[in-house]
Amino acid sequence: MSYPRVKGSVLNIAAVALLLLVSLISYAAFTNMEKETDRIMLDTIPVTNAVQSLLTDVLNEETGVRAYVARNNRSFLDPYYLGQISLNRNVEYLTNNADRISPNLGPILERKLVPSLEVLKRYFEDQIALVDSGKIEDARGRINAGKTDMDQFRSIHNELLLLIGEDTRSAGSQMKKAADQTRLIIMVSGLLAIAVGVVSIIVFGRAGRAEAALRVSEEKYRLTAETLEAHNEEILAQQEEQEATLLKLTEREQELEWITSYQEKLTGFMQLEPFLRGTVPALLEALELDAALVLLREPEEDGFRVVYSIGYPSNAYPRLERELYGSAGRALETREPLRVRRTLTEREKGLHASFEQATDWYVPLLDDKQEMIGFLLLTLYGAGELHDALKERLLWGLTRQFGLAFFAQLVNEERHKQSERLKELNAELGNEKELIRGIVESSHEGILMAGLDGTALVANSRIGDYFGWENTLGTGMLRLFRQLEQGAGTPLSLVEPVKEFLAGETDSVSLRFPFRRAEGLRYLELYATPVRGRDGGVRGYLFVFRDRSEEERVDEMKNEFISIVSHELRTPLASVLGFVEILLNREVAPDKRKRYLQTIYDEANRLSTLINDFLDLQRMESGQQVYHYEPVEWNALVREVAEQWKGRPTHEIRLHVPGDSLVVRGDPDRLRQLLHNVISNAVKYSPGADRVDLYLEREGDHAVLRVQDYGLGIPEEAKDKMFTKFYRVDNTDRRQIGGTGLGLAICKEIAEAHDGSLRFESEMGAGTTFFLDLPLYREEGVGGSLVILEDDVNLSHLMAEAVGRLGLPVVKFRAAEEALRALSAQGGAPARLWIVDIMLEGKKSGWDFLAALSRHPRHGATPVIVSTALDQPAHYYETEAERYLKKPFTMERLLEVVRELLEKEPKETIVFPARNEQEVVRILRENGIGFEELKAGEDTVEVKLKRTEPEEG
């Protein structure tokens, strides 16, 4: 064998060996990268899936437990038990492979994750136990505690995800490094191959005989290069696959973040509206959609109501849809989600001019019985679909979570409303109880309520006041009535009728009986009746005790009154009949006849006074007593009455009156009656005295009259009853004194009707002083004022408020006498305007006042508005200074007339419609109106009034 051939062979062998070595190195690098890739795929992906499943498992547990707490239905615990099984399996897998996956994973699992899961497990088990034991409200109250534990778990779960992500990125870096090493080895191998080729060409060029072998080696080299290139392409494909896997892991991680973030937004709401405002926009953001709408079934309105809308044009959908059709109807019938492509409406194109198409997703919202309670409409504007299947899957998953949370929110809100309504009902019940208790306590009767067994259940405070019982509740009624029977002091049986009533033998009980206590004898009336429910069944027994002591006393006084009245009537009647009989049957001397007739007259007056007292008292008690109020010269009236009592043989009336005039507002006749009664009492009850003193004094803005006698005085025990009807002091010294016991009662009524008071001070054996206190009349000037003469206080106040807007002072009178007194004031300026009612408090009417006003020299030209409910008289005619307003009229109309009269200058003429001139003269003279001349026209008669010049001085 030649040297070149041997050399070529050696070189060929070396080249082949070198190429084989390069192939082995490339294969080893590829195998190492493939193992590393397989390890990452086998280790990282299962661990990532297990960690991601932890949150899903815990959320399933939480959803099942919350649904069980909300609905109290154990079928809702299925997700809880399934999540618990999956959770245990995933935790066991992570625990067993922690050391192989990452050195940091084991400590996190042992120190954080497992304790957090134990806390959640105990919370879930406690919630289930509370619901199982019927403590649902306690379980609902602990929901916020579970949310805190969930937040802690999510924090640990995010830490695990970050750790796995870091390990995944580290593994990816290692894979990239292995790929770079493989590329380097292949490049080196290529360079070596090129070098070997060059050497071979040189060798084959020098050794022609080795050309064939070199060609074979070259072919081998070519095949080896192709193999290496195929290996390189396979490595690149594996790298792309690993990058795609890493991208999927990243997307899955982002998806889990979206799910976690959205689930956090589904909790913590108490009302539906904040829930929708917080969750629907977050759903659109997570799914990258444009609009959403939530419809809720309204059974009461037989339709679906839009409860929330975002992203659509305003009023694009009706607030209430009676019937669902089209895609919404299909979703309603199938109860399955539905996706629909459609063309944009014109209003939607206004917002999205570049879009022609839109995609709608109809998602049914179901309750726990899988019945449709509404649906969720989602819209994406534009021709494209969702980005990928991941988003489509995420859409259905998130909307399912939204549906469950929506139903739970509805349930919670309904329970919250029920709870609030229950609180309101409890409050109403409490108020009703308090009202009933207040009614029972405010009753003037003693009330006892007994149960079916005859024991006292309810008693008001009157029962204790009547009988001195401190605590009657729980005591048998028969026992209580035995105590009453013992204190009744009467042979009347109380126990037997009550016993028969409680046994159902009688329908009711009605008894009257006395009951003696330390403070005296009390007369009571009992009536009892069963308390029945709506079904008519007896629920208990009501016993009502009414105090009749006052009635007994009044009956006693009435009997005494009848006796007194009989005496008071028979005595004068006997005298009248006796003297009349004498005058009829005998001839008597003229002086005796006169004396007999005087006696008959006096006794008749006595009877008349007695009858008038009865009638006055009856009118006062019925509110029919009529008072004619006017300014009264109190000094003069007191002096007048005192003068009438002078000349009595037994008593001297001494009068002490101040020099200045005291004027009160009152009815002169009634005040005169009051004075006579008080003076009469003073004379009658001072039989041993010889005088009665009357003192009239001014005390501030009141006039006080003291009527002082020096007689018997009033006993202490009788002072509280002196103004009681028919009451007369029971005393031997007073039995010979006549009277009905009505005088002081009438006097007190009169005094109070005049806004005054009547009281007395008395000392036994020293006499009695009566004090009559009346408010003084306040004189008011009318100069420059708007004057209202109206007896209705409310209407007068209303008119004053209305005309007061004109900025003028307003003066009010209720009687013509008051207004006339104001007119007669010396030097008083005229009023700006009078508003005069016709029916007034005093004896004079508005016409009387108007007649006096028209004749007055200073006030006659003052404008007048006649305000009355009466029709306009036939002989009355309006003038430019006088208007007639018939009630009712509006305050605007009154103001209009007032302004009209105030703006006009008063004229001295009256215009009558055409009529007989003699009739006009008669009308003027009847009303006391003077005139200078009459001018008769075709349709009218104009009268020029005669003005009276003011008197000098």
Residue 695 in this model has a pLDDT that exceeds 90:
yes
Q: In the predicted model, is pLDDT for residue 898 greater than 60?
A: yes
Query: At a CB cut-off of 8 Å and minimum separation 6, what does 566 contact?
Result: none
Is residue 1 pLDDT above 60, yes or no? no
How many helices, marked H, and strands, marked E, lie in the chain? Answer: 24, 26
Q: How confident is the model at residue 399 (pLDDT cuts 50, 70, 90)?
A: confident
pLDDT digits (tens, 9 = 90+) for 751-781: 988 889 999 888 888 889 999 999 998 877 7
Give buried/exposed letters for 493-531 (b at 16+ CB in 10 A, else e): ebeebbbebbeeeeeebebebbbeeeeeebbbebebebe
Average pLDDT over residues 256-262: 70
What type of residue sits at position 504? G
Above pLDDT 70, what percent of the chain? Answer: 77
Q: Look at 414-418, 521-525, 564-568, 897-901 and tell me which has the smallest mean pLDDT.
A: 564-568
pLDDT > 50? residue 159 = yes
The pLDDT assigned to 4 comes to 47
Closest residue by Cα to residue 275 from 407, 138, 364: 407
At residue 302, the 3 state secondary structure works out as coil
- pLDDT over 90 (residue 871): no
Predicted local confidence at residue 217, as pLDDT: 62
CA distance linking residue 858 with residue 856, whole number of Å: 6
In the predicted structure, residue 527 carries a pLDDT above the cut 80: yes
Q: What gap in Å lies between CA 139 and CA 130, rounded to an integer?
A: 6
Distance CA 43, CA 164 (A): 10
User: How confident is the model over 415-457, as pLDDT tens digits?
Assistant: 888 888 888 888 888 888 778 777 777 777 888 888 888 888 8
Does the pLDDT of residue 950 top 50, yes or no? no
Q: Which of 52-61, 76-85, 385-394 has the lowest mean pLDDT?
A: 385-394
Mean pLDDT throughout 652-678?
87
End-to-end CA distance of the chain: 183
| Other Cβ atoms within 10 Å of 559 Cβ, number | 11
Q: Tell me the C-alpha distance between 165 and 708, whole Å.
A: 114
Sign (positive/negative) of CA torsion 202, 207, 211, 213? negative
729-735 — which CB contacts under 8 Å span 24+ positions? Answer: 734/685
So what's the pLDDT on residue 692? 92
pLDDT score of 741? 67
Q: What are phi and psi of 375, to 5 degrees?
A: -150, 160
Asked if residue 316 lies in contact with residue 349, where contact means CB atoms within 8 angstroms, the answer is no
Does position 736 have pLDDT exceeding 60, yes or no?
no
H helices of 630-695, in order, are: 634-645, 668-684
- Residue 304: name the closest of 282, 267, 285, 329 by CA: 329
Q: What value does the mean pLDDT of the chain take?
A: 78
- Name the more confident of 238 and 632: 632
Q: At residue 481, does pLDDT exceed 90?
A: no
Span of 189-193, 530-534, 773-777, 903-907 with lowest mean pLDDT: 903-907
Q: Which two tokens stand for residue 526?
A: 């009992």
392 vs 950: which has the higher pLDDT: 392
* Cβ–Cβ < 8 Å for 658, 638: no
Block residue for tokens 């199982």: 132
Instruction: Please state whether the predicted TM-score (pTM) of the whole model is above 0.75.
Output: no
Looking at per-residue confidence, does 783 or 612 come out higher?
783
Task: Give 821 or 347, the one with higher predicted confidence.
Answer: 821
State mean pLDDT over 375-386: 75
What's 843's DSSP letter?
S
- Minimal CA–CA distance to 674: which of 604, 602, 539, 771? 771
Pairing of β 520-532 and β 509-517: antiparallel
Predicted pLDDT at 949? 45
Burial 597-622 (b: 16+ CB within 10 A, else e): eeebeebeebbebbeebeebbeebee
Q: How far apart are the C-alpha atoms of 169 and 618, rounded to whole Å?
A: 110
pLDDT at 254 (0 to 100) = 67
Q: Where are the beta strands (DSSP E) in 716-825?
A: 757-763, 767-775, 786-789, 810-813
Mean per-residue pLDDT, 845-851: 87
User: What pLDDT sits at residue 346?
Assistant: 74
∠ Cα 407 413 419 (to 5°): 140
Average pLDDT over residues 537-549: 87
Token pair, residue 682, equals 């003073």
What would the pLDDT profile of 195-236 be if each residue is shown by its tens digit?
A: 766 766 675 566 566 556 557 666 776 776 677 677 778 777
Span 699-731, pLDDT tens digits = 889 999 999 998 888 888 777 778 776 666 755
pLDDT tens column, 549-599: 888 777 776 776 676 666 667 777 777 888 888 888 888 888 888 888 888
Whether the pLDDT of residue 506 is over 60: the answer is yes
For residue 277, pLDDT over 80 is answered with: yes
What is the distance between the alpha carbons of residues 70 and 645, in angstroms, rounded to a whole number? 95
- Extract the tokens encoding 812: 């009010």
Mean pLDDT for 239-246 is 77
Task: Give bridge partners of residue 437 from the DSSP assignment.
Answer: none
By DSSP bridging, strand 864-868 and strand 833-836 are parallel
Tens digit of each residue's pLDDT (9 = 90 or more) over 115-144:
888 888 888 888 888 888 888 888 878 877
Q: Can you tell me the mean pLDDT for 270-275? A: 81
Which residue type is seen at 801? E
